[in-house]
Amino acid sequence: MNRALSFHDLTLGYDRTPAVHRLDGEIAAGSLTAVVGPNGAGKSTLLKGVTGTLRPLGGRISYGPFTRRDVAYLPQQSDIDRSFPLTVADLVAMGLWRETGAFGRLRGAHRMRIAEAISAVGLTGFEARPIGSLSGGQMQRVLFARLLLQDAQLVLLDEPFSAIDARTMADLIGVVHRWHGEGRTVLAVSHDLDTVRAHFPQTLMLARELVAHGPTAQVLTAENRFRARQMCEACADPLHTCGRRAA
């Protein structure tokens, strides 16, 4: 199996407290994988570790044929300051930063690609709109357009379908399937198990530690979901060490 990512005894966390503990596993290149688990399971933390914004407390991540420069990351909308005075076109253009640099000049070819990405997510005519005026679904379309311009081989999505309307969800799932069809590796955090069952062939279930990883139908069993809840509830108990380091 060609590997996009490998996790080797990986521990990630904050202030010496693990949120992901001793994870081992591999993500196949070209796979479409959902990351699921209860609240507090470490799902978003895992993506931050892969992007390199969170350094491991222990173990390591291997990137197969990729480097971190080959990773595109869509954070949760709550992590984005929408009060910043940017237009739709400004935010989408940030997907070209590897080519233009932080303050690089946009040329005609760049502007054409920006327009094509905005069109691909159904927002033609919104180019000059301030991002603070957008609905949740429109904002998510803008963030997907930015990802399209990054043209990355490894795409990380944190709750990409949360709090958006059904039409936007269908359109963005179409973009995800397009990436998958192009042989890109997609890893997406999701709490919507019906969407996972319908659209993600592979699933990784976390409860701070690995619960299961494999074909979605084999992972999303009632037994695994019950076990994951038990594991997270145990970690929430202040008397339970749950992999925490000694002070």
> Mean pLDDT in the chain?
91
Alpha-carbon span 217 to 212, nearest angstrom? 11
User: What domains lie within the chain, and their CATH numbers?
Assistant: 1-66+154-165+184-247 (3.40.50.300)
* pLDDT for res 188: 98
| Per-residue pLDDT at 244 exceeds 70 | no
**What mean pLDDT do residues 73-86 have?**
85
* pLDDT for res 245: 43
DSSP annotation of 127 reads T
Q: How far is CA 53 from CA 16, 75, 99, 115, 209, in A?
A: 16, 12, 21, 30, 20
pLDDT more than 70, % of the chain: 93
**What mean pLDDT do residues 88-101 have?**
86
119 pairs with which residues across the strands? Answer: none
| Per-residue pLDDT at 201 exceeds 90 | yes
| Per-residue pLDDT at 239 exceeds 70 | no
Token pair of 176 as six digits:
């995800």
CB-based contacts of 135: which residues, under 8 Å, 6+ apart?
Answer: none
* pLDDT for res 70: 86
Please check whether residue 79 is in contact with residue 189, taking contact to mean a CB–CB distance below 8 angstroms.
Answer: no
| Per-residue pLDDT at 100 exceeds 80 | no
pLDDT tens digits, one per residue of 136-188 = 999 999 999 999 999 999 999 999 999 899 999 999 999 999 999 999 999 99
pTM for the structure as a whole: 0.90
Work out the end-to-end distance of the chain between its first and last CA atoms, rounded to an integer number of angstroms: 40
**What mean pLDDT do residues 214-227 have?**
98
β-pair type (17-28, 71-74): unpaired
CB-based contacts of 195: which residues, under 8 Å, 6+ apart?
Answer: 161, 169, 173
